[in-house]
Amino acid sequence: MICPSSPLDDEALGRAIAWVRHLGLDPEPLPSTRARGPHPYLAGTDAARAADFTTAWCDDRYAAVWAARGGYGATRMLDLVDWRACARAGPKVLLGYSDVTCLHEAVAARLGVASLHAPMVGSDRAAADELGTAHLLATLFEPDSETARDLVGGADTTARRPGRARGWLTGGNLSLLAATIGTPSALGSHVGAIAVFEDVGEEPYRIDGYLTSMLRAGWFDGVVGVVLGDFTRCGPRHPVDAREDPSAALDVCTERLAQLDVPLLSGLHIGHGPVNRTLALGVAAALDADAGSLVLTESALI
């Protein structure tokens, strides 16, 4: 367990350890899970967080590297990770989402390794998310099962553009992906990819801006399909009673991405909503927007 971004308090760390043990796993919190940084939003210094990631990846005692929480700060430590040592150590399972998106991107770009966009152990919602937990456990321990391969698992999907596509999965938090364009840890090509996005706390005009920047930078060149996850608290809010309008962010995505002329499906429960399914990034999948399905076509752990 590491904190590559923001810190955990002692109570949250205790809950995280208990939850991981409840899953039948043996957690070892590394120093960043108890650290405080030069700013209150950072879990220790950039160098210390990078060292924790390097240690967790390279030490044979650990089967996986699991981010305890997101927040902010993972991009600050990316260039301090010893990527050569990580490459020599070989592949390992990386789990997390949100700010951890840039780490998923980095292990794909620098190590060529698939990873799991998955619940974080320090999240208050993780232990209460029975569906997300069941999908996570299937992904980890029965990766070839139908449960692990079926990424949708619900009737909330909408075909925003029809069609079918086969490709490899990429994506994660939209704002993080937009922020890493042109950096050494960004993937150089998304040819043949099915891109999956989620976000939290971003108003529609900001989502518009992220997608516009990515389109102009060529991020979507060669993408064969797009799937939209949860856009939680992404407004705008109703002017009378302040209710969130959940459709606004999805409508912006639909309008901006229509020019790609690829299948576009919304309703996948990944991200900051009450259900957070595990998405195997870098793994081959089949998208059928008309049927509302996204299914892995190879093992979730490769």
What are the residue numbers of the active site? Answer: 98, 198, 272
Whole-angstrom distance, CA of residue 144 vs CA of residue 241: 46
Distances (CA, A) of 67 to 121, 131, 199, 243, 273: 7, 20, 18, 32, 18
Q: HSE-up of 132 (CA within 13 Å, CB side)? A: 25
From CA 218, how far away is CA 261, in angstroms rounded?
A: 15
